[in-house]
Each structure stands twice: as structure tokens, then as C-alpha cells.
Structure 1
Amino acid sequence: MNDKPTSLNADGISEPFSSDSVPWEEWSEGSRYGSKFRYLSGFGGANHVGVQLEELAPGMQSSLNHYHMLEEEQAFILEGEMTLRLGDKTYPMKAGDHVVFPAGQKVGHSFYNHSDAPCRFIMIGEKNPNEVVFYPETGRVGVRLMGEGYDRSAVMEYWQGADTERKNPK
């Protein structure tokens, strides 16, 4: 049974809701990474598209630089400003700006709040259960279907580890 609040009524129908009724969730890793967010689509019972209202505090980075093989992501800035890191380039972003990260675009992206005020934005993305995410700086490869991460440099040949010599079955 799901104990999280939701907009689903007793009949399982998703009803309209105010974003203020969705609880804030927070995460952080060390002093560099972290944000708080309201997972709007989860609250509404969505299964295919993820939408969250995110707030990035001054001096914080939203995630490791990464790109998606199967999922598209988009961000729309509501208030404040921050810096988009896209590969080796950076772009200042402010309220009203929008960016799209198409699936398979092999350029890492992340956000950093360079300002002295929180930046609020909407993140929209797919929820593909087979997603593969690459992290160029660390070499990590995330495979959602398996719930695991792998070191991209640990490459193996197709036949590596296989017994390729015919043996008589007993």
C-alpha cells in the first residue's frame, strides 16, 4: 500500500490539485549537490511522463553532468537564475528560459545556481523503465532496468568469458 499523499480519489481517478499540496522532498550529496523538489506527476499518479517543480539553492549543483539514451528531458525556468552546463559550454538561464535535452544527445547536462537566491524550475522527462544514462566525468553508466551502475571503462569483448570450443555433452 502506498502511504505517500496523492491526488487519486477512492475510485483511483486523478483529480486536479494545487502544487502547494505536494510535499517538498530534499536530497543532497556532500556540500556540492542537492535540491528540493515537488514530484507533481507522481502525486497525480502519472506513469509515463515525469514532472517536478525543483528549487536549486545558491551554490548548489542539480546533478552529475549526464545524458540520456532513451529519455528526453526539458527544463523551464520559473524564477531566479542559474547556469546550464552543457558539455564544455555554459549558458546563463533566467525566468522564462527553456531548454530541451533530446534522447541520445551525447552531451552531458547539469545546472548550477551561481546566484545568491534560489532558482525554481520545472523539469519534464520520460519515465522509461529501460533507460540508460551516461555520466561523462565519472565514466558511470546507469541502467535503470537493472537498477545498477557500471564503469564505462570496464568494456568486454562480445565472446570474452565464453567457452567457444565444442564439447561433447554428457
Structure 2
Amino acid sequence: MTDTTKPIINPRDLELDHWTQGSFFESRDAAFGALLGLKDLGIGYGEVPPGKSGCPFHNHHVEEELFIILEGEGTYRLGDKRHAVGPGDILGAPAGGPETAHHLVNTGTVPLKYLSISTMAATEICEYPDSGKFLAKTRGPGGERRFRFIGRSGGAVDYWDGEPGA
């Protein structure tokens, strides 16, 4: 433990970041694994308003995620299925292809509050099946961002493209 880490955190004490994107995405959330001294496990707390989602439908190729519903009701979209969820439900999002793509939508009348827990891979590829995007990213020691690229496969080039003498 360092001077900036704590052994215990209560979500009500977190300073939440409020953001919106378009008409469907909105959340008040905070990541706090590092505050607990964790390096390989990410932990977040989120509050999503009724009718909204905190992230696009996506799948991870390396990282696994777990969600614990604390308050509210929603729909957990996992692959091609949808599941009603509520307080006490624990949701798994294993690494894989589009069959493991997932996101939560608040279908209730009060904020959907949940914890998210994930492995913190040094290298990750995410896909977004609804929009055809992908994300490639790497993290260095301590979790700092080293590389991050979001794009679509339609912009692919040959392996040798642009190489001197190729």
C-alpha cells in the first residue's frame, strides 16, 4: 500500500464523473481499483439513468468482466440474448468473440447502480458488433495508456505497406 491507496472504499464516497454521448449513452461513474492498490484487477462503480446505457455493445478478446447489480433494473445483452437483471444479480462477460459481446441498459425508473470488475490485460482487442469498430490498446506498468486505436477493418493495409525497400 502507498500513501495514495486505501484498504477500503465505499462507492458513496467516490467522486463520480458524469458524461453523456448522444441520446442513449450516459453514466456517472468512477474507476477505483488503483485506489485500492490493485494493479491487475480493475474495479468501477456506475450509475446509469433510466433508458440509457453506460457503454456500447462490445466484446473483449482478452479481458474478462463481472458486473454486480446493486440497485435498479435493466436488460443485460449478452451475445444474441437479452436477460432481465436486478439487485443482487451477478453477470459474467467472458473473453471471446461476438458471442460474448455485452452491455447493460437501464429499463427501470431509477438509476441502475452496479460494480464492474475486470482483469487488466497489458494488451487488449475489443470489437463493437453493432457499429463494426474495433479497439486495440496496450497498457504499461501501473496501467498507464501506451497505445490506443479505434477503427474499422476497412482501412487495413498490407503488412509491407510503407516499409523502406519493400
**Short-chain TM bin:** 0.7 to 0.9
Is 2:118 aligned against 1:125? yes
Q: Is the 8 A contact 1:59 1:113 kept in 2?
A: yes
Question: Which structure 2 residues correspond to residues 17-166 of structure 1 after superposition, within 5 A?
Answer: 17-107=9-99, 108-145=101-138, 146-158=147-159
> What whole-Å deviation, never above 9, does each CA across 1:68-107 have from its counterpart, x for those lacking one?
0110001111111100112222111011111111122432
Q: Match for residue 3 of structure 1?
A: none
Structure 2 CA distance for aligned equivalents of residues 124 and 61 of structure 1: 17
Question: What residue ranges of structure 2 are gaps of 5+ in the alignment?
Answer: 139-146
Larger-gyration structure (1/2)? 1
Once the 2 structures are TM-superposed, how far is the Cα of residue 45 of structure 1 from its aligned partner?
Answer: 3.4
Q: Is the 8 A contact 1:8 1:15 kept in 2?
A: no
Between Structure 1 and Structure 2, the one with more helix by share is: 2
Q: Is the 8 A contact 2:5 2:36 kept in 1?
A: no
Once the 2 structures are TM-superposed, how far is the Cα of residue 160 of structure 1 from its aligned partner?
Answer: 5.7
Which is further off, 36-45 or 150-159?
A: 150-159
SS state at 2:115 partner: strand
Once the 2 structures are TM-superposed, how far is the Cα of residue 151 of structure 1 from its aligned partner?
Answer: 0.7
Once the 2 structures are TM-superposed, how far is the Cα of residue 56 of structure 1 from its aligned partner?
Answer: 1.1
TM-score, scaled to structure 1: 0.80
Once the 2 structures are TM-superposed, how far is the Cα of residue 13 of structure 1 from its aligned partner?
Answer: 5.6
Structure 2 CA distance for aligned equivalents of residues 40 and 28 of structure 1: 20
Q: Is the 8 A contact 1:34 1:60 kept in 2?
A: yes
Once the 2 structures are TM-superposed, how far is the Cα of residue 135 of structure 1 from its aligned partner?
Answer: 0.7
SS state at 1:60 partner: coil
Between Structure 1 and Structure 2, the one with more strand by share is: 2
Question: What residue ranges of structure 1 are gaps of 5+ in the alignment?
Answer: 1-6, 166-170
SS state at 1:147 partner: strand
Structure 2 CA distance for aligned equivalents of residues 158 and 13 of structure 1: 44
Structure 2 CA distance for aligned equivalents of residues 115 and 59 of structure 1: 7
